[in-house]
């Protein structure tokens, strides 16, 4: 079952500049700034006390997914992450409907990383599935 919007990820060219812009707009400080190993981007998070948050990502190279996105499509919303209450059940349902997935481990296998619905199935929106 889908529970709503968990977070959005915004791709930007200059993380420092974007953090400064967003700190001014949101009136809160960015937290948990980092660089996930091998991901090809640096990131920072904005939290608001509620269930949803905003993540900024900025590519560290042109060959990763975020780098390719910024090179081809510029800055903007990179993905929308939707919260689900049971990721395995959601994946089984989406498989049965033939929805194109990215990172799906397949039936009866544990999810080892991030799982997404391909933009071709969602009107162009890379959609991550997140179980908290």
Q: Considering the rule CB under 8 A, would residue 16 count as an interface residue with a copy of itself?
A: no
Concatenate the DSSP letters of all residues of 76-131 into one string. Answer: EEEEEEEEES-HHHHHHHHHHTT--EES---TTS---S-EEE-GGGTTS--EEEE-
Q: Considering the rule CB under 8 A, would residue 107 count as an interface residue with a copy of itself?
A: no
User: Which part of the chain contacts a copy of itself (CB under 8 A), choosing from 32-40, 59-67, 73-81, 102-110?
Assistant: 73-81
Residue in 38, 106, 113, 124 binding a copy of itself, rule: CB under 8 A: 124
User: Which part of the chain contacts a copy of itself (CB under 8 A), choosing from 29-37, 43-51, 61-69, 103-111?
Assistant: 43-51
Q: Considering the rule CB under 8 A, would residue 9 count as an interface residue with a copy of itself?
A: no
């Amino acid at each position: 079952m889908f529970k709503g919007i968990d977070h959005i990820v915004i791709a930007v060219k200059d993380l420092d500049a974007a953090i400064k812009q967003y700190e001014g707009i949101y009136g809160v400080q960015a937290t948990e700034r980092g660089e996930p190993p091998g991901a090809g981007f640096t990131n920072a998070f904005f939290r608001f006390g509620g269930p949803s948050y905003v993540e900024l990502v900025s590519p560290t190279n042109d060959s990763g997914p975020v780098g390719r996105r910024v090179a081809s499509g510029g800055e903007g919303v990179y993905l929308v992450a939707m919260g689900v209450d049971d990721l395995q059940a959601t994946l089984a349902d989406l498989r049965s409907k033939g929805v194109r997935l990215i990172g799906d481990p397949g039936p009866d296998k544990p999810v080892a990383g991030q799982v997404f619905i391909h933009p071709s199935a969602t009107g162009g929106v890379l959609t991550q599935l997140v179980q908290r």
